[in-house]
Amino acid sequence: MIPLYYNTRSLWARRVSTGLTVLGLGLVVFVFSAVLMLANGIESALASGGDPRNVILLAEGATSELMSNVERDALRALGSAPQVASSAEGEPLVAGELVVPVLLPRGDGQESNINARGIGPESFAIRPTVRLVAGRAPRMGTNEIALGEALVGRSPGAHLGGELVFAEERWPVVGVFTAEGGAYESELWVDVNRLGPAFDRPGLSAVVVRTSSEQARDAFIKNVKDDPRFTLEAKSEPEYWAEQATWLATFIRVLGLFVSFIFSVGAVLGAMITMYAQVAARIGELGLLRAVGYRRRSVLASILIESAVLGAAGGVLGALGALATRWMEIRTLNFQTFAEVRFGFTPTPGIVVAALVFGTLMGTLGGLLPALRASRLSILDALRA
């Protein structure tokens, strides 16, 4: 009932204090949102590497392609299953792939592990999200490689027309592809029959299959499970990739939320200091309002609302700052896949709302005790002050 413009103008009248507090709250909200956006970014990056109609088959018990060993002869049997879709040329869409981490020099003098994926002839067809944006697909039977877009420029020679050197051989780059931000974008693709021998790996990491529909996919997975010939684990690609992100995303979320929580305590204390000062400075005004007939709870509500406005301003500031990070990119090592992944900060409406709520909540919490004090003031003492 006490008009809102009284609160906003009072905050403005003490702008330095208000500003510093809003900045502090904003920083906390920023860290909070950025962390959530980062974890989200990791999950989307990795999860978008999967097509719901595709099935990936690993050695039983393997959690990752990296630690999985699959025999080549499984390929034919798997490819002949009825649920497997066919390519335009009538070939079954099945591919045996081998993933090997390769140590490549980075621009800054250090090195990173990059995943090299040995592919089969159908690998590109199996994955519609993977699209060549420059050059062409590597020819089978050669050392030609295609680079995921995230790798371009990361290492000397990592560009169209360039050449990478590893495992004592040369690998010319003939194409660049994108994969809608998924993990494949941080890989290099080459014929598995050239990659395997170069690393003395006769087998495969996984077999990938494209089924004709999601029901077919489920049937296929079930058949593989029941078939005694195979000691393989089958799961849909999206499920596989989501699992690969778990550790890193969880770590970032836990660390980030823990830190945000601690920060928020500091920010709430900061807001409390500011609001106590606001109340103290305006004790005469508040006394007047009570004299004129405003009830205690109107004064309580007014101060609470003022602190909520403070918090909301911090929330908006922090959220805007966090949204600005979406142009930033991070690359780091994902322990599960043991290779470098690139991801960014991915906002969602949910995160923005959470940020605003968090900011407002912090401000309101900070204003609680000062508001109580304001409502309990003795009118006579306040008027005399």
Partner 1 sequence: MTFGRLVWKDLLRNPLRLALTVLAGAVGVMAFIFLRTVVDLFYSSAESAQADRLFTRAKASITADLPLSYLPRISTVPGVDDITFYGFFGGRYGESQRDFFGSAFVDPPSFMRVFDELVVAPQQVAAFEADPCGALIGKDLAKRYGWKPGSRVTLKGTIYPGEWTFNVRGIYDVRTGTLDTNSLFFPFRCLNEKLPDERKDRVGAFMIRVEDPSRSAAVSSAVDAMFANSPYPTRTESERAATLGFISMLSAIITAVQVVATVILLIILLVIGNTLAMSVRERTRDLSTLRAMGFKRGRVMMLVLFESLAIGLASGGLGVLIAPPLVRGFVAVVGSQMGGLPADFMRESTLVLGALAAVGVSLLAGIIPALRAVRIPVAEGLRKVA
Partner 2 sequence: MSTAPGQEAKSPLIRLRGVSKAYRRGDIVVPVLENVDLDIEAGTFEAFMGPSGSGKSTLLNLISGLDRPTTGVVEVGGQDLARMNDKELSDWRAGHVGFVFQLYNLLPVLTAAENVELPLLLTPLSRAERREHVAAALEVVGLGHRMGHRPPQLSGGEQQRVAIARAIVTDPDLLIADEPTGDLDRKSAEQVLDLFEVLHHELHKTLVMVTHDPHAAERADLVRHLEKGLLQ
* Cβ–Cβ under 8 Å, residues 77 and 229: yes
* Secondary structure, 3-state, 129-157: CCEEEEECCCCCCCCCEEEEHHHCCCCCC
Per-residue CA distances from 135 to 99, 174, 259, 277 (Å): 23, 6, 45, 66
**Does 1 sit near partner 2 (CB under 8 A)?**
yes
273 CB neighbour count, 10 Å cutoff: 15
Which does residue 295 bind out of partner 1, partner 2, none, counting CB within 5 to 8 angstroms by kind? partner 2
Which x/- pattern, by CB under 8 A, does the window 285-324 give for partner 1?
----------------------------------------
**Does 325 sit near partner 1 (CB under 8 A)?**
no
Which does residue 251 bind out of partner 2, partner 1, none, counting CB within 5 to 8 angstroms by kind? partner 1
Residues between 285 and 324 that touch partner 2 (CB under 8 A): 285, 287-296
The two three-digit tokens of residue 136, written as one number: 């062409």
Residues between 168 and 227 that touch partner 1 (CB under 8 A): 168, 198-202
With CB under 8 A as the contact rule, the residue among 10, 69, 193, 212 that binds partner 1 is 69
Which does residue 327 bind out of partner 2, partner 1, none, counting CB within 5 to 8 angstroms by kind? none
Q: Phi/psi zone of residue 141: left (φ > 0), alpha (ψ -120 to 50 degrees), beta? A: left
Task: Enumerate the H helices of 170-231 as residue ranges.
Answer: 192-198, 214-226
With CB under 8 A as the contact rule, the residue among 77, 259, 357, 379 that binds partner 1 is 259
**Does 202 sit near partner 2 (CB under 8 A)?**
no
- Angle (deg, nearest 10), helices 237-281 and 15-47: 170
* Cβ–Cβ under 8 Å, residues 197 and 100: no
Q: Which is nearer to partner 2, 296 or 373 (CB)?
A: 296
Which x/- pattern, by CB under 8 A, does the window 267-286 give for partner 1?
x-xx-xxx-xx---------
Cα 310-316-322 angle, rounded to 5 deg: 135
Residues between 257 and 286 that touch partner 2 (CB under 8 A): 284-285
Strands 169-178 and 163-166: antiparallel
The residues, ordered by sequence, that sit 6+ positions from 323 with a Cβ below 8 Å of its Cβ are 33, 347, 352
Residues found near partner 2 in the complex (CB under 8 A): 1-3, 5-6, 9-10, 12-13, 284-285, 287-296, 379-380, 383
Residues found near partner 1 in the complex (CB under 8 A): 16-17, 20-21, 23-24, 27-28, 30-31, 59-63, 66-69, 100-103, 110-113, 166-168, 198-202, 231, 246-247, 250-252, 254-255, 258-259, 262-263, 265-267, 269-270, 272-274, 276-277, 330-333, 338, 340
